[in-house]
Structure 1
């Protein structure tokens, strides 16, 4: 039996042939690799390789002299991202496990040159932007990483550390230290201890640093900052002795094309600097702090100085923040807190930032909380602040104002001021709220006046009055104040000017305007230093003191010039001058009449006149009780309770002395014109007149009036007596030439009188005429003007034959000297006296004589 041989299938045959070929190829490749493969030059995927040598020992050994990677984009302005470089390193690690040694001496990427080495333990990769030397050891699903060198060339960042690469979780954890190096000298600017964690998508770094000198090395790490102000604030506007990063963290997105810009928002840096000088502004001196905390967070760099000082002023709790550094709208924010005088040093800061604050307080500590926001792109400025002071002296554009309590709120160009217990130049006291608009340069508000006094209390004084006001300071040298309710406009810098358009608004607040019955007018007051004042005043008044001489009407319009300083007060007009200075004051009148009636005069008491005062007049008459006292000149001196003076009219002179209730009057050689003006009638014709009077110890004025060579006309008593004589035919013979319708001619006469507030008592009236003498005595009641008077007419003996013709003989008495006398009774009033004859018995029973008999002297009535 023939045994049948089984032939393999075609599929099995093919499989046998494949493995035979693969084994043969492997044996052949191994033989080549073991012997070594050398190629001088060849190209692969667009790259050119020179000096290629590959052989197999325990593992592969690869040596390449030159590798030209033409397909890589080697644009010097476009660096490989860190994620790309890490990916390359990751892939290289996978390949490295099949190699015992790798040496690629030169890797050319256009203008860049790199190299790669692996010695079985350490892997060295030198890429255009990255140099890495590390040791990778696999341990189950992890790779233990020992980084000997990790250097980012373009940033000067050098790192050494060790960690673990978890292949399952795709996480890398590293601990090490980082140095930021000078790229040329490799000098270390700063040393940081870092903890690194990465999920190969992001890189999280945390750490702290040693002490370093400055942060200018960050120029290489941060993106190019085109804004010069931002750049200056990060690198140039301060200097430090030393600094240290206390805490540092950043999250880097590894797949980002703008890795630094995208990482900056996560950057957190807390640092401390010592002996720091900060320049707020290029035109300002530096501020100093012994130490400063620097915080970079949320794209903002903030400075927190400890006990900072600017010049000699302490500025606790002051902060500086550079915000949105990597953005299109970077800004600077300064929060300034200090308690210091608001002087030129503080104004330097405000002026540097174009903050207009028209206030100065060089002698007062002002608590200031100021916030400044500056847009570093548009330079737009925002300011807010609170200024507080107590018991302060503030200068508003040079104008000194004192405040008990002051609060100023600054909101950009609007400044709100709340103030209490304001005092201005001893002129004004009160409370005020007002708003300062520094853009439009004006102030508006109102003031509650506690006390307002201008020059003297009588001139202007107000209290508990609310007064609106506005101030315009557009022109630095012409600041104006307006009080609309007072129609007052003032220029508030030297020379200061105050103009009042309508004085009627001041009448409720001015005693002098009230006293002199001013109804309207204008005033312009000027002062250079609030020590000396000059004013021009025009007033309309219903006063009744100054009387025109021409028409005897009150002067309704008066123009005045005023000069006032600490030593003198001078007030001039066409009709009077007033000067007060030192220990005297003087009032001079000219070409005017003065109405001295008490209801017209201001309510002044001579007892209060502590300064000696002289009142003089020239061609000035005095009016008293509607009676005119003519005067060519007069001089009166007033001091405390004393009045002493002299009045002259033509040949007449009167000397007056008054002290308290005591009065002395000596008047002599006055003429008829003088007395007729007083009586308001043509009472006397020619003659000479004398008066002498004194006050006795009981306050009664006792005096004597003498009359010489005058005719008495238009005296009511004489006129009524003439009328009475006309009713008695037998008395007509008395109407001699010396006593007729033309008056009574008097050679000489005297009147002894006594005067007090109630009565005028005539103790003895003796008139001697050419043919008739008159004697009399009586009392006149001043308030009612009632008169009780007894008169005796005496004729010469040559007229005694007339007695037989008079039927009423009882009324006629013949004296021892042969004279004939007739008695008359006068009563009624001074204005309307009643005349009738009187018997001797009636004379004895008259009220006056009853008083005379009861007391020793008629003047005792005043007791």
Structure 2
């Protein structure tokens, strides 16, 4: 617009000066004679020229003044072909005048005032004021414009103009002061083409410059409203135009511009804090505005290298293009920035940094946007929604509603591998694959899960709650704002990755719940191939329903409707109406401790003293079973045990030290004895038992019997049947040796058990009301055979009838008229065969056994225990 005013001014001045000179020549010729005296004419009309208040005088040079001048319009076109002739004429004309002042010159609807003095021409009008001089050097005109003031635009220009007659090239340069902006300009005209360039000093208001361009309202808003700066500086503004037939047409393609903004705030999005920058360069080129930011930051986050541009300014699809770079943690600040553009990327980085690249195309005039985000992680802690990841490196790529996770290497003390996959943000679903190099999960007791070189696909959804499904483990994770629930539907799926599958050998299921990942509750069912817990019917509990709670300081574990309870802090197990096989339990503990010791990084001492409390619970150890009302068992860290129990007031003590097992029972009832020795042929009465040794080698023991009967087992029944065939022993049936059982007054037996397979009875002494029995023998439990030699002595009272019995080879007569019969029991336990033995074979029994027939067993019973 400035150039247009200047071109118009040059044209008007040229025509005005030419017509004025014609007028002056006419006046000069007509009035020359009166010049020396000075001539004053109120009105003068020459042709179409009207002059009022004319005054002219000749001193050394002429002085000319008028009150008004009316100059007719010219129909001639402006031409530079005879400019040299016209200039020479004008220049020669002005040499005759010392001073010229023409007021109110009316020409072509313009009102001018013209003053010429000291070789300087002043022209003023309602639209402009101009002052300067011009001179010719050869074929070149040079003009010094000391003032050009455009009244309406409030623009002041100073400069020089050079016009080459031979080439018709016009060059100008100078300074300007417009809109409180001071600067410099250069302009050149070659043929019909004009090009110019402008720069400025710093200024504080950009509106006047931007308002001179016909920009889209949204673009204007971006430059003027969304960008705040303390000061501006026009570094350059260059353009080209075509002047043809008086028309000035700008070449938009050639327009270039650069403005420096200092101390900048850029409001990219409503609701977000502004991006701050020490400065940025606003450039215009090829229908685009470029924002080149220097040291930009957003909420303290560095955005170095970020750029902004607005493209297609002259089209209807004006687009804002954002190219944001950052090297900072991907935290809530960056996440909120993306969410302002409806980009909800569920990532939060707690440590480390990312190199993020955010690309956006946002339509200025339409409701359209397109985004691309690239994030490259360095080593640090990253949360994918509520899932913690220890990232070594890797990247995320967002485009068109999808996030691609590319080669994200994860490494922690618990896992190492590479994560890949795709997240569908519109459907809040992720299909991911973790290529695990290793997964190792540990507790204070050691490593409990190990996996190597396996790809694990899993699915994650997070619309409201978070769901994670891992098919290979039959695992499902459900996380809400209040709690997280982990369900393992088939525990056998994870069995291959457990160093000790233990209770998971046959699978099961479990559900684990936590609200803070510090305290956990769990509930499920275990399927076990073997166990150490059983019911009264001795059925092993391979299906174990369980539940419990884990806190940072303790663990509570319940099973079988809380009949089994384990407390870790107290290292205590409570059993109620539930039986335990202590040998299997200790074996399990021993194996766990061995595996625990292999863990070099375990933070606690392997093995912990354990207290087992039983109530209405039977206790089994090998072939021994104790039927208890209650018991206490101390299990030492080295596997030794010390226990005491009671049953109906009867006390039983047992212990294990290294490989030596000992048991003591004093005057217990038969219901306690039967499961203890796995033999129910002794009934009623009271029984004292003492046994010790190595169960895997040799156990030595002794049983003392007080009262009761012996009956209802194969060896007894077959012996009874055999005795019934012997007339000499018919008297034993009543009341001592009969179907009602053999009544025992007192008895004692010493035995050895070899490897749990063979029982060697070193001595047997049983005193009954009708007979006394001594003997020895072997029972092979593995082969289920018996080999027993017995001597049965009738009571002395029976000697009265012995005289009528013929003496046989298997009968020995005592001095006291007693009668001793030898029996041999051979065969299987299911069907032992009883026969008599020769008298001499009876004598082969150890002397101490024979002696026992004449000694009171009370002496044995009363021996110190």
CA contact (8 A) 2:495 2:505 kept: no
Q: CA deviation at 1:323?
A: 3.3
TM-aligned CA distance change 1:279 to 1:66, over 3 Å = farther
Distance in 1 (alpha carbons) for counterparts of 2:837 and 2:245: 143
CA contact (8 A) 1:709 1:745 kept: yes
Distance in 2 (alpha carbons) for counterparts of 1:540 and 1:296: 75
SS at match of 1:353: coil
Distance in 1 (alpha carbons) for counterparts of 2:611 and 2:228: 75
Distance in 2 (alpha carbons) for counterparts of 1:847 and 1:406: 87
Matched, 1:438 2:407: no
What is the TM-score of this pair, normalised by structure 2?
A: 0.77
Q: CA deviation at 1:408?
A: 2.2
Q: Which residue of 2 aligns with 1:249?
A: 238
Paired residues for 1:41-440 under 5 Å:
51=52, 65=68, 98-99=89-90, 100=93, 103=102, 105-107=104-106, 132-133=130-131, 135-137=133-135, 142-150=140-148, 158-174=156-172, 176-182=173-179, 187=180, 189-192=181-184, 194-206=185-197, 208-212=199-203, 215-223=206-214, 225-227=216-218, 230-234=220-224, 237-240=227-230, 243=233, 245=235, 247-254=236-243, 262-270=250-258, 272=260, 275-281=263-269, 283-378=271-366, 380-418=368-406, 420=408, 422=410, 430-440=417-427
TM-aligned CA distance change 1:518 to 1:700, over 3 Å = closer
Paired residues for 1:595-614 under 5 Å:
598=584, 605=591, 610-614=607-611
Match of 2:30 among 24, 31, 35: 35
TM-aligned CA distance change 1:459 to 1:316, over 3 Å = closer
CA contact (8 A) 2:305 2:325 kept: yes
Q: Which residue of 2 aligns with 1:751?
A: 749
Distance in 2 (alpha carbons) for counterparts of 1:502 and 1:719: 55
Q: CA deviation at 1:348?
A: 4.2
Give the superposed CA RMSD: 4.8
Matched, 1:561 2:547: yes
Distance in 1 (alpha carbons) for counterparts of 2:516 and 2:46: 101
CA contact (8 A) 2:395 2:408 kept: no
Match of 1:711 among 700, 709, 712: 709
Q: Which residue of 1 aligns with 2:683?
A: 685
Gaps of 5+ in 1: 1-28, 73-83, 850-863
Q: Which residue of 1 aligns with 2:655?
A: 657
Match of 2:737 among 736, 739, 759: 739
Q: Which residue of 1 aligns with 2:601?
A: none
SS at match of 2:382: strand
Q: CA deviation at 1:527?
A: 1.0
Distance in 2 (alpha carbons) for counterparts of 1:259 and 1:755: 125
SS at match of 1:674: helix
Q: Which residue of 2 aligns with 1:10?
A: none
Gaps of 5+ in 2: 1-23, 32-40, 95-99, 595-605, 849-865
CA contact (8 A) 2:200 2:233 kept: no
Q: Which residue of 2 aligns with 1:852?
A: none
Distance in 2 (alpha carbons) for counterparts of 1:55 and 1:317: 72
Q: Which residue of 2 aligns with 1:22?
A: none
Distance in 1 (alpha carbons) for counterparts of 2:153 and 2:84: 25
Matched, 1:635 2:632: yes
Q: CA deviation at 1:651?
A: 3.6
Q: Which moved more, 1:566-575 or 1:98-107?
A: 98-107
TM-aligned CA distance change 1:597 to 1:117, over 3 Å = same
CA contact (8 A) 2:623 2:677 kept: no
Distance in 2 (alpha carbons) for counterparts of 1:399 and 1:430: 16
Distance in 1 (alpha carbons) for counterparts of 2:528 and 2:47: 121
Q: CA deviation at 1:365?
A: 2.6
Q: CA deviation at 1:809?
A: 3.6
Q: Which moved more, 1:819-828 or 1:99-108?
A: 99-108
CA contact (8 A) 1:606 1:639 kept: no
SS at match of 2:552: coil
Matched, 1:589 2:575: yes
CA contact (8 A) 1:479 1:493 kept: yes
Distance in 1 (alpha carbons) for counterparts of 2:674 and 2:748: 18
Q: Which residue of 1 aligns with 2:487?
A: 500
CA contact (8 A) 1:104 1:115 kept: yes
Q: CA deviation at 1:445?
A: 1.2
Length, aligned pairs only: 791
Q: Which residue of 2 aligns with 1:469?
A: 458
TM-aligned CA distance change 1:635 to 1:777, over 3 Å = same
Distance in 2 (alpha carbons) for counterparts of 1:93 and 1:331: 52
CA contact (8 A) 2:665 2:689 kept: yes
- Map Cα deviations across residues 647-703 of structure 1 (whole Å, 9 max, x no partner): 333343322211221222122343233344567776343222221223389974332
Q: CA deviation at 1:64?
A: 8.8
TM-aligned CA distance change 1:491 to 1:336, over 3 Å = same
Q: Which residue of 1 aligns with 2:863?
A: none
Q: CA deviation at 1:32?
A: 7.4
Q: CA deviation at 1:232?
A: 3.6
Distance in 1 (alpha carbons) for counterparts of 2:128 and 2:815: 162
- Map Cα deviations across residues 808-842 of structure 1 (whole Å, 9 max, x no partner): 74433334555332333344444444433334665
TM-aligned CA distance change 1:419 to 1:819, over 3 Å = farther
SS at match of 1:329: coil
CA contact (8 A) 2:491 2:504 kept: no
- Map Cα deviations across residues 281-337 of structure 1 (whole Å, 9 max, x no partner): 454444444454443332333333444444444333222334344543333333333
What is the TM-score of this pair, normalised by structure 1?
A: 0.77
Matched, 1:617 2:603: no
CA contact (8 A) 1:749 1:768 kept: yes
Distance in 2 (alpha carbons) for counterparts of 1:351 and 1:88: 65
